[in-house]
Amino acid sequence: MKRRFSADQPDKVWFNDVAQHRARDGWVYCYAVIDAFSRRVVGSAIADRRALSKSWILGYRRRIGG
């Protein structure tokens, strides 16, 4: 997938990426939520199942100061 994400200011557009890695007992998923303006990771999580919501929640809390 070739998509270009852009924004004219921080925290207007976020996108996510996931990397899947084989572990001894199955798979591990590494999630990142990235701000399109600054290209900084605003939230991340590592999980043993496909569940992106935790990284989005962490990014949101970081941005609102919670």
Expressed as residue numbers, the domain containing 19 is: 9-49
CA distance 43 to 25: 26
Alpha carbons 39 and 32: distance in angstroms, whole number:
11
Number of domains in the chain: 1
What integer pLDDT is reported at residue 52 of this predicted model?
Answer: 65
Domain-located, residue 43: yes
8 versus 55: the higher-pLDDT residue is: 8
Residue at 54 is within a domain: no
Whole-model pTM?
0.70
Residue 22 within a domain:
yes
Has residue 1 been placed in a domain?
A: no
Q: What is the pLDDT of residues 9-62, one digit of tens each?
A: 998 898 888 899 999 989 998 888 899 999 999 888 888 877 667 777 777 777
Domain contains 4: no
